[in-house]
Structure 1
């Protein structure tokens, strides 16, 4: 079958690389020691990376390196070295989350392919289109996309990579700040502590697991994905054992090549790792209670050493999967030659030994052929071998062995090097902060269009995009400078939102708050002023340069930045921070309330989630996605943020209680106004 979907395997170690290749993977993805979204995996130093790439390339397997974390300005020199390490190792592509990383990588190694990580939170047709137009060769889409949504995205002429097996985060990738806020271990930095796997309850149930989903498995749909044009079937699991990698690769290969998975393979896959079974809920669009699960005792004991040993036996021997053709020529009085080819590379080895006339036993052609075909523990097997020798010729078998080894070694060297990248030496300099626009403008983001007249003092007020037209007109007539917020979670409603954006533009509203690339793309298409929100995860000067070049009016910086790092940012685009609000820790398609079968009718958008310590986290739904809010509000007093190199500060109003409906906007800058416990977030303590 032409255009077979690629089977892409995770590798957290060289053992996993070998398991993936010998089990039939077409590509592997792995991380370097820094800037990997799985920082707790073994990951690869430069020499280990070169070894892995060489092994894979010899077997016609591609290697993609993950640099898929947010990166701060003070890390740019190390990031540069990480990109250069990947280029020197001859990897096939970089997987990146951060626009600044992409920008620097393009400057350093222009011809290297860039894959947009799922950490970019791209989950819609227009998000994929935006990345395609930016020059990305591949987009790793969000796990939450349904079959229908994937079919639409596949219309864009860019490679799509879809997760077909492995762990499901409760949150849309790239939008989780739970681990960072609770313990400074940032998921966007690869240091997630997985607090979501701990007990969280909604409603009356105690010790529930409202943030823990079963593992995703849509391997049975690989044929559908292939037919719709998806380029790569991706397996999650760089933190998992080589045996898991092997089992998952074999299941994917069976489904792709045979159209089904054998019962034995399916049972091995389930036993090697699961959380009470698997789910296909996002792909089929059947979200809800059945998708939730956590790892129990039975799931753990099923993955015993006997099972692991059985799996290891299946890939213990080197895979001889590369067909070669050869010709051996030997004549009396001449040096013998061995020529081999893999169809692309041609090798000719000539021995220093001069063939002699046999005095007793001549070289048998059959024995000669047998000896040369002993490719042993290499990647090769002879598809054909022509033996051209004279009768009565004498030649030691040791010479044949040496010629074969030399020819295969030379072929290894040629196959290992694919790209020979041209590398530009870009100097990393300290950001220029002299032109940073400064100011103290106030902005407010509302969840309704109901607020006191005091908020008219804001230079810009964002209201939900579906606010009634008459209400929008009334607010503008009252002198409010109104913008609309495009939801961070678009998914199946992208077309509806795009249509609505066009309508509000016609009403005279020209400002849009955008927390993902698709929203930015839509607002730009309507010639609106695009204001980037925290959801874009902009954290370094390269990010800000990208935002300015791409046409954003200004940006709300990630709240994972410290004040110190904020003041070091360069560029000339306006930037601001959130100074008040119940920060969204998660953006999820499957509402935590559904873990306990609580319906939307029962919830009425007033549910709260409770942790082991009794802290309560509000759940706010916009009809598409649910935000899990922090249990206490962020609050930064004016005397702390007024000295920052920023242009504005934002109030993010979400729970609509008394505190968020005060008569005077000025009270938000006075600590005594707050009658509840608050946090300074990550601005002072930072993230790992």
Structure 2
């Protein structure tokens, strides 16, 4: 069985060194653009080349993250970044944007693509979709249990990467709009303001959106046994000492089967939020997973501790085994042949020849001892054979010289070139006048208030037969809204969809790549939702190519960006409703030691400014809804094409009367009754 990869974060070259010298098999890092950690130091292309050379010599891989959503104006620059990164000999690219990934794969098929956790993939179907697109690895959602991970590993031949240590977002990665909606800083663009770490009150708890850091390093051998390829450590924003501590803990567990008390204590002291949690992997959710950074967590990270950790990685880790053969004949130039199993280096020195020893001949033991002195390098000799004529010698200084020469040449051979063939694709950005004029709604609560002026109504998959008949009286065309959170219930949802298909329902609204895959397989008309995060022409083209009927564009792009999108697929936008700002698997209500049923399908949560956010629970996941509804109904014909509009009714079924519409420019205040979202103000 291949050992599980230890994958370390690197926000700087200092972190690369700390990771490699502590035992990492790979590092992941961001460039100065298109990285989900914009505030990390990140790497220039010169630094990236230095890093790949340093790592490849030491048997360590380098993965570059371009895991943000990309706008049309940035696509060409983003592709140029990939081209330059390929010239630096990266081992793989980690991406979020589905359209950008599609273009990169066509431009450079030999470059390994890893699907970022920002793609929200947590089902077998989602992993299948990525594999069909050419991805070689998927970074699964942090919220998955052991059984859910194993199910994918057992049924699909694709590399799986799991976060084993570091910060836990309350929201499923790629599905958080809290920071963007409230402050214009998008987590999907690398500018997350960590809104979830602020006080949010639910009965019994003041930090209802803050989880402890994830740590499942103790389960490394178990993950390896079920087929996980890579154990990923979170923390590109953190210090090199943190990186070293986390890598060392993983290395000890993998190589020794246990983590020393000292190593685990260092890891806790260098950074934690009231300790760690393994709740998602063990499928044991609840209040014990919640925590926030307190004074005692901060003061434990002392300079004395950092000095001790730095000492642990001050020297090279000799991790590259070599075999050598030294030959010394009388009156002939000596040779030293060395191999790392792939590369062969043969060094001969013409200005020195074997000669009769005047006193002591060179022994095999002395030659091997001298040639094996590889301190300060990443190499060690597992074996050196010798062929030395009897009574012959050479100066000891020569042995040192020939060793240094052969290791230097080995460095250059191991600093290989992938010779990627990157063909820059052409992008047609011609705006497309592709619109649907029909009016649609997504409804969660079924009652008599549902209007009859909709052309298509999407109802929840949990709808009863009685409620389905109510909707049929109001609208002749009905579709099913497939939940975004599919954790552990994909097969049940597929069976339920088959029942709806048998009843003559042929339309589905899909907001997850896994749902897109299985709804297409089942023969439904697939309507892409706004949470597929379609923000550019490349993603529009992907949706068209993949066979979606139409799409809702992301709620994070402006009216100008929407109208400028190319492609021929029909598209629209959300025009009204309480927008879900988070999709969570752990219920905020549980932070206060309450049973999840306390939320009664849509409970309330309050922030420090007394705004209330509804919680909508479907029994599997919770959506945190914005405190005020989005409403751009009067703007549709003024600002946008005559798009179809998707109106979302999650906590009510009638559009509220908005007094003095247009005042406050959509800003939130105690008197604001609506928001215009990000359509007009944009985001970072």
| TM-score of the aligned structures, taking structure 2 as reference length | 0.94
* Post-superposition offset of 1:384: 2.2
* Post-superposition offset of 1:330: 3.6
1:513 aligns with 2:509: yes
- Give CA deviations for 1:462-520 in whole Å, capped at 9, x if unaligned: 11111112432453355432111001111122222111111111111111000001111
* Post-superposition offset of 1:640: 4.9
Q: 3-state DSSP class of the match of 1:284?
A: coil
Structure 1 residues 293 and 204 mapped into 2: Cα distance closer, same or farther (>3 Å)? closer
Aligned equivalent of 1:535: 531
1:212 aligns with 2:201: no
Q: 3-state DSSP class of the match of 1:425?
A: coil
Give yes or no for contact 2:79–2:424 (8 Å, CA) kept in 1. no
Instruction: Measure the CA separation in 1 of the matches of 2:382 and 2:510.
Output: 57
Aligned equivalent of 1:243: 241
Q: 3-state DSSP class of the match of 2:673?
A: coil
Give yes or no for contact 1:330–1:336 (8 Å, CA) kept in 2. yes
Structure 1 residues 363 and 378 mapped into 2: Cα distance closer, same or farther (>3 Å)? farther
Give yes or no for contact 1:456–1:480 (8 Å, CA) kept in 2. no
Give yes or no for contact 1:87–1:109 (8 Å, CA) kept in 2. no
Aligned equivalent of 1:326: 324
Match of 2:288 among 262, 266, 290: 290
Give yes or no for contact 2:455–2:475 (8 Å, CA) kept in 1. no
Instruction: Measure the CA separation in 1 of the matches of 2:412 and 2:539.
Output: 38
Report matched runs for 1:355-366 at 5 Å: 355=353, 357=355, 364-365=362-363, 366=365
- Give CA deviations for 1:86-108 in whole Å, capped at 9, x if unaligned: 21111111111111121121122
Report matched runs for 1:85-96 at 5 Å: 85-96=84-95
Q: 3-state DSSP class of the match of 1:257?
A: helix
Report matched runs for 1:638-677 at 5 Å: 638-645=634-641, 647-656=643-652, 659=655, 677=673
Aligned equivalent of 1:523: 519
Instruction: Measure the CA separation in 2 of the matches of 1:670 and 1:194.
Output: 31
* Post-superposition offset of 1:400: 3.7
* Post-superposition offset of 1:166: 0.8
Instruction: Measure the CA separation in 2 of the matches of 1:283 and 1:669.
Output: 50
Instruction: Measure the CA separation in 1 of the matches of 2:636 and 2:596.
Output: 40
Instruction: Measure the CA separation in 2 of the matches of 1:246 and 1:192.
Output: 25
Report matched runs for 1:62-101 at 5 Å: 62-101=61-100
1:166 aligns with 2:163: no
1:468 aligns with 2:464: yes
* Post-superposition offset of 1:439: 4.3
- Give CA deviations for 1:326-375 in whole Å, capped at 9, x if unaligned: 12234454433221111111111222414274696676345544433332
Report matched runs for 1:370-385 at 5 Å: 370-385=369-384
Instruction: Measure the CA separation in 1 of the matches of 2:324 and 2:5.
Output: 30
* Post-superposition offset of 1:398: 4.7
Give yes or no for contact 2:601–2:616 (8 Å, CA) kept in 1. yes
Give yes or no for contact 2:602–2:651 (8 Å, CA) kept in 1. no
* Post-superposition offset of 1:657: 6.3
Aligned equivalent of 2:256: 258
1:15 aligns with 2:11: no
Instruction: Measure the CA separation in 2 of the matches of 1:360 and 1:401.
Output: 21
1:458 aligns with 2:454: yes
Structure 1 residues 642 and 446 mapped into 2: Cα distance closer, same or farther (>3 Å)? farther
Structure 1 residues 127 and 212 mapped into 2: Cα distance closer, same or farther (>3 Å)? same
Give yes or no for contact 1:39–1:190 (8 Å, CA) kept in 2. yes
Give yes or no for contact 1:575–1:646 (8 Å, CA) kept in 2. no
Structure 2: runs of 5+ lacking an equivalent: none
Aligned equivalent of 2:488: 492
Give yes or no for contact 2:636–2:642 (8 Å, CA) kept in 1. no
| TM-score of the aligned structures, taking structure 1 as reference length | 0.93
* Post-superposition offset of 1:643: 4.2
Structure 1: runs of 5+ lacking an equivalent: none
Instruction: Measure the CA separation in 1 of the matches of 2:69 and 2:337.
Output: 50
Aligned equivalent of 1:228: 226
* Post-superposition offset of 1:393: 5.4
Aligned equivalent of 1:313: 311
